[in-house]
Chains A and B, each alone.
Chain A
Amino acid sequence: MNKLDALKKEWKNQKFELQLTKDELHQLTQKKSVSSIKWIFIFSCFEFFAYLLFPFFIPDYFEAFEYYRSIHLYNFSILVNALGYIILSYFMVQFYLNYRKIKTSNSIAFLIETIISSRKSVNKYVAYNISLFLLFIIFVLINAFKYDENYIELLSIGSTINEDSIVKMVIAIIVIMIMVLSVLLVFYYIIYGRYFYRLKKLIEELEA
């Protein structure tokens, strides 16, 4: 018998001093799970609901529609909002269906893949939402310069505001947008980044 076989035999004969009784095991199974999946599920639900409740926390959100009407964007703003809710329901259903597929009795590779795909639907949702929001802001700005007196004045020749300050304003808007996006990205990295990076590495190792 070689050393490896001897080692294997020892492994099989190993004893653990701690042997739990049925009652003790029963108590353990009734405790609360602290698994990462549970936390991801809670965070994801929170994200969905945060976007769902978003309008109610923004002051003047509903009054803003009157402004959109004045710059000929009323129908567009309704459409974008409706689209937002359609996207929300689609991804919530997709997330839930994927989440339900997560079963610890699956193979290791399959479990990791289902966790990744379930989280992906939330990421996609956030990405679509942010793009939709940015697109909407751009349209509002374009139409504001076309129809809003205050904005038109900014562009008119002989205005007290020179071109330089308009350039500065545009740069300021872009910088603010980039900052908001970076904060979101850092936030996502802190919550999910490392965990999902690890999951991807595990899949790579399994498939190698």
Chain B
Amino acid sequence: MHLNENDFLQLLEKHQNIIHKICRIYAYDYSNQKDLFQEISIQLWKSYPTFKGKSKFTTWMYRVGLNTAITLYRKNKKFIRGEDYSKLSELKADDGYDETKDNQINWLYEKINTFSEIEKALILLYLEDKKYSEIAETMGISEVNARVKISRLKRKLKTMLEQ
């Protein structure tokens, strides 16, 4: 069991950026991001015994991470209603698309912020270059449905890029 834990932590350390991305997409501020990161880590460790190596470790990580962010994690609503809301609207007001790298990523996160919880999961999997079959499996929908949803999101993002 101890050997297992070491393997797990090694893999977690290597792929922790997956969790960082999920946190930045789903949590509104630094303190919520920290809490969500912790909750995802706990859930990953708790469900590690169910990971049988049938799927890739990262595939399994996306699932547990997204499930935690979408259905298990209780957001600190007080903060969202308070000062952060004004911050969010400021971000939304800044619609210009900048060519410089960091700004591009920030711009993308701001746009993703306006998406629904489900759309956020879909766009993450799309940006991570997951196959449609994998996206469908993670979301629990048919592959056809996954294709339709992704192409809709791609169109949405393209329009945003051209604005």
Q: Do A and B come from one complex?
A: yes
Listed in ascending order, the chain A residues whose CB lies under 8 Å from chain B are 3-4, 6-8, 10-14, 16, 18-22, 25-26, 28-29, 31-37, 39, 103-112, 115, 199, 202, 205-207
- Pick from B10, B37, B51, B127 the residue with the most CB of A within 10 Å: B127
Of A11, A16, A199, A207, which contacts B127 at CB under 8 A? A11
Minimal beta-carbon separation of B139 from chain A (angstroms) = 5
**Contact code string B34-60 (vs A, CB < 8 Å = 1, else 0):** 010111011111110011000000001
Are B139 and A109 in contact, with the CB atoms below 8 A? yes
**Contact code string B119-163 (vs A, CB < 8 Å = 1, else 0):** 001000001110000000111110001000000001001100110
Number of A-B contacts (CB under 8 A): 139
- Pick from B17, B47, B67, B117 the residue with the most CB of A within 10 Å: B67
Are A108 and B70 in contact, with the CB atoms below 8 A? yes
Describe A's contact surface by its main secondary structure: helix
Of A35, A199, A205, which contacts B73 at CB under 8 A? A35
Of B66, B145, B158, which contacts A108 at CB under 8 A? B66
Top 9 A-B pairs, shortest CB-CB distance: A109-B140, A107-B140, A29-B45, A35-B72, A28-B41, A16-B20, A104-B67, A104-B64, A22-B9
Residues of B within 8 A of A10 (CB): 101, 104-105, 108
Of B13, B105, B117, B145, which contacts A25 at CB under 8 A? B13
Are B108 and A7 in contact, with the CB atoms below 8 A? yes
Q: Who on chain B is nearest to A32 by CB?
A: B42
A-B contact pairs, 30 of them (CB 8 A): A4-B158, A7-B104, A8-B127, A10-B108, A13-B101, A16-B17, A18-B20, A22-B9, A22-B12, A22-B13, A29-B12, A29-B45, A33-B46, A35-B72, A35-B73, A36-B71, A36-B72, A103-B50, A104-B46, A104-B47, A104-B63, A104-B72, A105-B51, A107-B63, A107-B137, A108-B66, A108-B118, A109-B140, A112-B71, A206-B140
Of A11, A19, A35, which contacts B43 at CB under 8 A? A35
